[in-house]
Homo-oligomer: A and B are copies of this chain.
Amino acid sequence: MEKDLQRLKSLDRGIQILSHVAAVLDWDQETYMPDNAVEERSDQVAAVRALVHERRTSPEIGELLARLGAGEDNPKGDPGLPEADRALLRVMHREYTREVKLPTDLVVRLAKVTSVAQARWVEARKRSDFKAFAPVLREILELTIESAELLGYEDNRYDALLDSYEPWMRTAKVREVFAHLQKELVSLVDAIRGAAQVDDEFLKADFPIPKQDEFGRFVLEQMGWDSGSGRLDRSAHPFTSTLGAQDVRLTTRYDSHNFKSGLFSTIHEAGHGLYELGFAESFRGSTLANAVSLGVHESQSRTWENIVGRSMPFWTHFYPLLRKAFPAQLSGHELPSFYRAINRVEPSHIRVDADEVTYSLHVILRFNLELKLVNRELAVEDLPEAWREESRRLLGIVPETDALGVLQDIHWSIGSIGYFPTYALGNLYGAQFMNTMRMEIPDLDERLGKGELPTVLGWLRQHIHRHGSSLTAEELVRSVSGEELKADYFLRYLRDKYREIYKLTGI
């Protein structure tokens, strides 16, 4: 058995190495690659991804998993094995059984149609022309449904898709928490709409980009970012990419007339990056040194960006330093008005620009539509109208163009259907984790007020990061909070914060 286990680990290690190679290719493409290299790079990425898929589905892995006792009913394998090895078996069994179900032919067809679709989407969005995108979206949807059928599910076809991004999560559970979340958020947004709006005009003054960059890097360092194990670059859309256990790269983007955009993107991506750098050393080189789910990943970025990065204690420490960096721009604006400005709530059309109150409503909108599409309760051609209706219902506003509505996100064009819910789940995980952190560190706000960010990082490393994918998201939430995932912590956090900012009563 020991020999089988060692062999399995060695195969896993080879797979992780090649996955990181693919990440190097992707990162370079988004940052420094010259324009004319696009086509060849896609061949390079495809070649490496094909190798990864080939290795992940090699019959030898199937045989080793079987010999180690891992099967549908007992994914963790032989109960006599150490817990970390059983966790590895569970993850590898899950990946293996999923990937072997998808024939190479289907994977290639999906890759081909999405590579066309991406360009088609860019064009369609530019001209706000949904009809130009609909045919290829229909193809993607059909192939996605085909995949879901092959992957299998018990209850809802959407489960098979959701599971790609949020392993072991079920649609019924998402529905349940989102229903509660939606109801409460709609009423919170209503309350805010009735209150006096806060002013954030002064954050649209000219904040020179080199200064923004300098300040962002300073905050990054204060968060505990080790520049020996990562980088911060710029790209069209901020992202985090893991090129190795000690090589995590962040990107951000700056707009000289939108101060919030650059800094909070940096903090957000650093939240992702610190998670990726925090897996237990003993997991290094194994698939356990990966995030358990995209929802938990998003909990880390949103905790840093919003719960910490847009809090009063955080800015009690940082605002005097920010004012030194931008004395003219911030003159006359004291801490309370700055704090309100970075937390302004207002229903708007574009998800990525949404505030932390309305953001989850954007996600629920997409979840509702995806669920119907995947279960054939909504036709692709009826999507724009359905989008407008959902937007009116959830956000109280209707996009005038499809570019501001159904065409705004890249996800569907790259075949990522079932991905959106993880963004809102991240808010819920984050607030639930933070609730425990606050109980365990009663003077947290006081420490944040002194700029002691390592307190937060240390706690997250110990309770969240180090586990990698050795615990399921559900096990992780239970181990941290003693409960299953629920929306209440996030809702309470929002109410407490915005009651004060907007002087709300009766919520």
Contacts and interface: CB of A to CB of B under 8 A. Distances in A.
A14 B47 CA distance: 8
Contacts of A228: 34-36
Interface residues of A, number: 33
Interface in A412-469: none
A429 to B, nearest CB: 28
For the complex of A and B, 6 pairs with smallest distance between CB atoms: A37-B247, A40-B244, A36-B246, A36-B229, A36-B228, A35-B228
Nearest to A18: B47
Nearest to A51: B51
A35 B230 CA distance: 9
A245 B229 CA distance: 31
Interface in A20-54: 20-21, 24-25, 28, 32-37, 40-41, 43-44, 47-48, 51
20 contacts: A17-B40, A17-B47, A21-B21, A21-B44, A24-B25, A24-B28, A24-B44, A28-B28, A34-B231, A34-B246, A34-B247, A36-B226, A36-B228, A36-B229, A36-B247, A37-B244, A37-B246, A40-B246, A40-B247, A44-B244
Interface string A221-233: 0000011111101
A243 interface: yes
Contacts of A41: 244, 247
Interface in A146-179: none
Given A21-B25, A21-B44, A40-B245, 20 more contacts: A17-B44, A18-B47, A20-B40, A21-B48, A32-B32, A32-B233, A33-B243, A34-B227, A34-B228, A34-B246, A35-B228, A36-B247, A37-B229, A37-B243, A37-B244, A37-B247, A40-B244, A41-B244, A44-B244, A51-B51
A36 B43 CA distance: 29
A34 B230 contact: yes
Nearest to A48: B21
Contacts of A227: 34
A430 B306 CA distance: 61
Task: State the number of copies, please.
Answer: 2
A43 B17 contact: yes
Contacts of A35: 228
Contacts of A233: 32
A370 B247 CA distance: 39
A33 B32 CA distance: 13
A230 B44 CA distance: 17
A189 to B, nearest CB: 42
A244 to B, nearest CB: 4
A37 B246 CA distance: 5
Nearest to A22: B21
Nearest to A13: B43
A43 to B, nearest CB: 6
A34 B47 CA distance: 26
A166 to B, nearest CB: 28
A221 to B, nearest CB: 14
Nearest to A19: B44
B34 A229 contact: yes
Nearest to A28: B24
Contacts of A40: 17, 20, 244-247
A57 to B, nearest CB: 17
A285 to B, nearest CB: 8
Contacts of A231: 32, 34
Nearest to A37: B247
A171 to B, nearest CB: 38
Contacts of A24: 24-25, 28, 44
Contacts of A33: 243, 247
Contacts of A21: 21, 25, 44, 47-48
A231 B32 CA distance: 8
Interface string A46-68: 01100100000000000000000
Contacts of A47: 14, 17-18, 21
Interface in A450-497: none
A40 B20 CA distance: 9
Interface string A210-250: 00000000000000001111110100000000011111000
